[in-house]
Amino acid sequence: MIKIKEALCDFCGTCVSVCPVDCIELQEALIKIDQNSCTDCMLCVYVCPIETLEYSHG
Amino acid sequence: MDDQYDVIIIGAGPAGSVTAWHASLGGAKVLLLEKDRDIGYPVRCAEGVGAAGLQSIVDPDSRWIANKIKGVDLISPHLKTIHILNEDFGFVLNRKIFDNFLAEKAAKAGAEVLTKAYAESLCFGENGRVNGVVFSHFGRRLSLRAKIVVGADGVESRVGRWAGIRTQLKMKDIETCVQYTMSNIDVKPDVCEFHFSRERSPGGYIWIFPKGDGIANVGIGISGEYARYKSPLRYLEKFVQEHFPKGSVLTTAVGGVPVSVTNRQIVKDGFMLVGDAAHQANPISGGGIVPAMVAGKLAGKVAAEAVQAGDVSQSFLEKYEKQWYRAEGRTQKIMYRLKEAVYKLTDDDLNKTADAVLSLPEEKRTMVSVFKKALFNRPTLILEALKVFKTSITEVFDPLS
Ligand SMILES: Cc1cc2nc3c(=O)[nH]c(=O)nc-3n(C[C@H](O)[C@H](O)[C@H](O)COP(=O)(O)OP(=O)(O)OC[C@H]3O[C@@H](n4cnc5c(N)ncnc54)[C@H](O)[C@@H]3O)c2cc1C
Ligand code: SF4
Ligand code: SF4
């Protein structure tokens, strides 16, 4: 699953723009990934400008 | 607030505010929703605009112009500089104030504007037609009806997806960016610098846009395609360490820019997309402020006409789509092809291009000459480049003097 290092996130939306299944919700200062629809495709992890996201087993 | 509007616009960036402004001028009853607490903040932008593009929408105003730009420096991997002079290149804005100003224009024209209003979903009527917005505002959830809903929600572009339009960007069609606003650095006061290098900014460039008083936006955008190997943050840290080891970082901005062609679909029955949400930015420079405003003006006018005519069908709203293609969409397609060619060049190619341009007499060094040298083995692309540099106003900077 994709883990969010929440203290790092800048809420910029770059990850949202590429997510193929649109499972990232982004409010002014809140980010959530719907782990049920997430396919672990990693695109959000790669595109985040400041390395906020990472893949973690389990 | 009412529960019925002619047009509800989601997102108060330049696209949303200009749409709201022109729809209101056309007589529509408009609501503009913004999820953040401040319009214009946080700034995720290098704030450069071309003079002609800006002036096609608003008169420059000293309240939000930080600096006037009189030329650009294009810098090669081997650090040779091609200076292109133009007294009227453009401006570096103060976007926090600029975005606020545009929202105020909308409000003065009659639109209602609401911040801290996060759109969560759309409402649908008969035949699955969009007919309203559900949003939350300080713990309350409201559902309002609209004849037309406009997605102006920026690069995220979720609103379009809720309406059933695919808006996801390919990794090669997004620039992932980090920027420092720095002080205590030695930069030319009225020249914007663009550093090109496949090694130091793959699929993008590093920019230095001066804001006056020794302050400048120093940032990088790289193609999403390369970001998996190293993030733009790390490239920027290295650049700053090498060029401005004593500089201070006053602001850090993070964001993404669509560098694509316009989304395949931008209108539906009762629905429109504008700005970054519609992928209207210039794909070669990533400049999206002027395109967002150009599209907003067209969309706002067409929305008001549709309401007046009592016909908000897709076929009526396609008028906006057609006008956009005539104004900028066609040019954008050429820009996209130029992007694909230029960002493939190796550092060696870029160095040779710089040397070839520098062998020209100074007065012949224009943006077009740069493209001519860079694309010497792609003559048809050069012809296209010539065409677009004469007609486009949505350049970050209008390069032909
Ligand atoms: C680092 C960086 C540097 C850039 N530099 C330049 C430059 O120098 N020159 C230039 O021309 N362009 C530049 N751009 C691009 C430019 O910033 C954008 O193209 C421009 O802001 C697009 O305007 P917009 O109105 O479409 O979107 P935005 O300005 O992104 O506005 C969208 C708004 O929608 C709001 N929103 C999103 N979702 C919701 C929701 N669910 N409910 C309510 N509100 C919502 C957002 O909070 C935001 O305020 C840069 C971009 C970046 C990231
Ligand atoms: S791209 Fe990174 S910083 Fe931006 S919203 Fe996504 S996780 Fe946060
Ligand atoms: S891993 Fe893929 S599917 Fe999951 S949130 Fe990231 S982009 Fe979306």
Res B366: pLDDT: 82
Q: Is B395's pLDDT higher than 60?
A: no
User: pTM surpassing 0.95?
Assistant: yes
- Mean pLDDT score across all residues of chain A: 97
Q: Is B392's pLDDT higher than 80?
A: no
Question: Cα–Cα distance between A8 and A48 in angstroms, integer?
Answer: 11
Q: Is B394's pLDDT higher than 80?
A: no
The DSSP letter of residue A49 is T
- Tell me which residue has its CA closest to atom 3 in ligand 3: A38
Residue-number span of the structural domain to which B21 is assigned = 4-43+96-168+261-329
Res B399: pLDDT: 45
Whether the CB of B168 is below 8 Å from some CB of chain A: the reply is: yes
In a domain, B121, yes or no: yes
Taking residues B202-208, what's their average pLDDT? 98
Q: Is A53 in the pocket of ligand 3 (CB under 6 A)?
A: no
Q: Is A9 helix (H, G, I), strand (E, B) or coil?
A: coil
Q: Is A36 helix (H, G, I), strand (E, B) or coil?
A: coil
Question: What is the number of CB-based contacts under 8 A between chain A and chain B?
Answer: 80
Taking residues B337-348, what's their average pLDDT? 93
Q: Is B379 exposed, middle or buried (0-12, 13-18, 19+ CB in 10 A)?
A: exposed
Q: Is B396's pLDDT higher than 60?
A: no
With the most atoms of ligand 1 within 8 angstroms of its CB, the residue from B9, B169, B176, B276 to mutate is B276
In a domain, B62, yes or no: no
Res B383: pLDDT: 82
Looking at the CA of B258, which ligand is closest?
1
In a domain, B18, yes or no: yes
Share of chain B above pLDDT 70, in %: 97
Q: What is the CATH number of the domain that holds B101?
A: 3.50.50.60
The DSSP letter of residue A50 is T
Q: Is B400's pLDDT higher than 50?
A: no
Band of residue B391 on the pLDDT scale cut at 50, 70, 90: low
Question: Cα–Cα distance between B284 and B287 in angstroms, integer?
Answer: 8
Res B215: pLDDT: 97
B174: nearest CB among A17, A28, A51: A17
Q: Is B34's pLDDT higher than 80?
A: yes
Taking residues B164-186, what's their average pLDDT? 98
Q: Is B2's pLDDT higher than 60?
A: yes
In a domain, B249, yes or no: no
Q: State the smallest CA–CA distance between residue A35 and chain B in angstroms.
A: 18
Among B108-117, B132-141, B381-390, which is the least confidently predicted range? Answer: B381-390
For B36, the closest chain A residue by CA position comes to A28
Among B90-99, B142-151, B356-365, which is the least confidently predicted range? Answer: B356-365
- Tell me which residue has its CA closest to atom 7 in ligand 3: A19
In a domain, B247, yes or no: no
Share of chain B above pLDDT 90, in %: 88
Residue bearing the bigger pLDDT, B401 or A9: A9
CB A14 to CB B176 under 8 A?
Answer: yes
Q: What is the number of other CB atoms lying within 10 angstroms of the CB of residue B238?
A: 13
Whether the CB of A51 is below 8 Å from some CB of chain B: the reply is: yes
Q: Is A10's pLDDT higher than 60?
A: yes
Q: What is the number of other CB atoms lying within 10 angstroms of the CB of residue A2?
A: 20
Residue B8 CA, distance from chain mean position? 22
Q: Is B214's pLDDT higher than 50?
A: yes
- Tell me which residue has its CA closest to atom 2 in ligand 2: A48
Q: Is A14 in the pocket of ligand 3 (CB under 6 A)?
A: no
Whether the CB of B169 is below 8 Å from some CB of chain A: the reply is: yes
Q: Which residues of B touch A22 (CB under 8 A)?
A: 158, 161, 168
Quote the ipTM score.
0.98
Residue showing tokens 């302050």: B215
Max distance between CA atoms of chain A, in angstroms, equals 28
Res B369: pLDDT: 85
Domains of chain A: 2-55 (3.30.70.20)
Taking residues B322-346, what's their average pLDDT? 94
Q: Is A31 in the pocket of ligand 3 (CB under 6 A)?
A: no
Q: Is B388's pLDDT higher than 90?
A: no
Q: Is B206's pLDDT higher than 90?
A: yes
Question: Cα–Cα distance between B142 and B91 in angstroms, integer?
Answer: 40
Whether the CB of B177 is below 8 Å from some CB of chain A: the reply is: yes
Whether the CB of B341 is below 8 Å from some CB of chain A: the reply is: no
Question: Cα–Cα distance between B97 and B299 in angstroms, integer?
Answer: 23
CB A12 to CB B255 under 8 A?
Answer: yes
Q: Mind spelling out the 3-state secondary structure of chain B?
A: CCCEEEEEEECCCHHHHHHHHHHHHCCCCEEEECCCCCCCCCCCCCCEEEHHHHHCCCCCCCCCEEEEEEEEEEECCCCCEEEEEEEEEEEEECHHHHHHHHHHHHHHCCCEEECCEEEEEEEECHHHCEEEEEEEECCEEEEEEEEEEEECCHHHCHHHHHCCCCCCCCHHHEEEEEEEEEECCCCCCCEEEEECCCCCCCCCEEEEEEEECCEEEEEEEEEHHHHCCCCHHHHHHHHHHHHCCCCEEEEEEEEEEECCCCCCCCEECCEEECHHHHCCCCCCCCCCHHHHHHHHHHHHHHHHHHHHHCCCCHHHHHHHHHHHHHHHHHHHHHHHHHHHHHCCCCHHHHHHHHHHHHCCCHHHCCHHHHHHHHCCCCHHHHHHHHHHHHHCCCCCCCCCC
In a domain, B339, yes or no: no
- Mean pLDDT score across all residues of chain B: 94
Res B87: pLDDT: 84
Whether the CB of B13 is below 8 Å from some CB of chain A: the reply is: no
In a domain, B318, yes or no: yes
Q: Is B73's pLDDT higher than 90?
A: yes
For A20, the closest chain B residue by CA position comes to B168
Query: For residues B154 and B11, is the Cβ–Cβ distance under 8 A?
Result: yes
Domain count, chain B: 1
Question: Cα–Cα distance between B267 and B163 in angstroms, integer?
Answer: 10
Band of residue B401 on the pLDDT scale cut at 50, 70, 90: very low
Query: For residues B253 and B43, is the Cβ–Cβ distance under 8 A?
Result: yes
Question: Cα–Cα distance between B188 and B194 in angstroms, integer?
Answer: 13
CB A13 to CB B233 under 8 A?
Answer: no
In a domain, B20, yes or no: yes
Taking residues B293-301, what's their average pLDDT? 98
Could you identify the atom of ligand 3 that is nearest to the CA of residue A22?
8
* pLDDT (tens digit per residue) in B351-364: 999 999 999 998 88
* pLDDT (tens digit per residue) in B302-326: 999 999 999 999 999 999 999 999 9
The two three-digit tokens of residue B242, written as one number: 């090498």
Q: Is A40 helix (H, G, I), strand (E, B) or coil?
A: coil
Whether the CB of A31 is below 8 Å from some CB of chain B: the reply is: no
